[in-house]
Amino acid sequence: MITLYDYELSGNCYKLRLLMSILGIDHKTVPVDFYPGREHKSEWFLKLNPLGQLPVIDDDGLVLRDAQAILVYLASKYDPSGTWYPRENPALLGEISQWLAFADGITGTASAARLHDALFYDFDIDAARAGAHRLFRILDEHLWFVEQEGRQWICSAPQPTIADIACFPYIMLSEEGGISRQDYPAIRRWCDRVKRIKGFIVMSGVFPAGPARAAA
């Protein structure tokens, strides 16, 4: 059984809860008092992850850290359809890795802005917001072309991949860091598509999609 070391308000933890819900992976949760308790810097937690970061999973003794790495592991091991991380398709794996790294960039900017505003982290807020807008602009353009080509998801596959899961949370929570999504219509349409994936769940700060518009 998988154990997830989890903080409710963490977008990186939510990525894993979300994929596990979509794939129907049973797991148990160990809450970590990230804030205000800073339990991720406690002695017991640093033994699990010397970087002192969430999330961490323990799958029958295999301990993994880093949200993106764990998405790769979970999809590789537990997705019978093989579409979330298609191991037989090198080009697609390259694309997925590219956008997983992009998701890390979103964490370094949009998530940092949110930590500054809500949890009083001492970050350069202007740099964090500007960095997030730069990434959002790139993703918005990318998704616009995706739609023009008749596709729906970040990577060139007919189904969503873990790249969509990795990018979604901190985009969806960006307004808590003072980063509006008003100017990114393709991102907003893509967020609604993610919310309609079967098995989608919310976290605090993320609301479900409204009812789909009836066909005209």
Partner 1 sequence: MTKCTDSVVLNLWHPVGAIAETVPGAVQQTVLLEERLSFSVGADGEPVVWRSRPDLRRADQIAAADRLPAKSVYGYVWTSLGSPPADLFPIPEYAEPDRRRLNAATFGVNVSAPRAIENFLDMGHFPYVHTDILGAEPHTEVKEYDVEISVDRDEILATRCRFFQPMASTASEGGADVDYVYRVPHPYCSVLYKSSPVDAARRDVIAIFLQPVDQEHVRAHMLLCVLDENSEDKVIKRFQQTIFGQDKPILENQVPKRLPLDPRAETPIRADKSAIAYRRWLSQKGVTYGVIPAAA
Give residues in contact with partner 1 (CB under 8 A): 7-9, 31-33, 35-37, 39, 117-120, 175-176, 178, 203-205, 207
Residue 108 corresponds to which amino acid?
Answer: G
Complex with partner 1: residue 86 or 169, whichever CB lies closer:
169
Complex with partner 1: residue 16 or 96, whichever CB lies closer:
16
Give dist(CA 114, CA 187) in Å, integer: 19
Contact 173, 205 (CB under 8 A): yes
Task: Provide, rounded to whole angstroms, the least separation between the CB of residue 32 and partner 1.
Answer: 8
Task: Provide, rounded to whole angstroms, the least separation between the CB of residue 44 and partner 1.
Answer: 13
Using alpha carbons, select from 179, 55, 53, 68 the residue that is nearest to residue 113.
Answer: 179
End-to-end CA distance of the chain: 46
Give dist(CA 147, CA 85) in Å, integer: 21
Complex with partner 1: residue 8 or 66, whichever CB lies closer:
8
Task: Provide, rounded to whole angstroms, the least separation between the CB of residue 108 and partner 1.
Answer: 20
Task: Provide, rounded to whole angstroms, the least separation between the CB of residue 117 and partner 1.
Answer: 5
> Token pair for residue 192?
């609604």
Complex with partner 1: residue 44 or 150, whichever CB lies closer:
44
**Residue position matching structure tokens 């739609």:** 147
Q: If you ran DSSP here, which 8-state letter would residue 3 be given?
A: E
**Residue position matching structure tokens 């990795």:** 166
Complex with partner 1: residue 164 or 176, whichever CB lies closer:
176
Task: Provide, rounded to whole angstroms, the least separation between the CB of residue 31 and partner 1.
Answer: 5
Task: Provide, rounded to whole angstroms, the least separation between the CB of residue 178 and partner 1.
Answer: 7
CB neighbour list of residue 19: distance below 8 Å, 6 or more residues apart? 25, 71, 74, 75, 84, 162, 165
What is the rounded (10 degree) CA torsion for 18, 24, 30, 34?
0
Give dist(CA 166, CA 188) in Å, integer: 16
Complex with partner 1: residue 185 or 208, whichever CB lies closer:
208
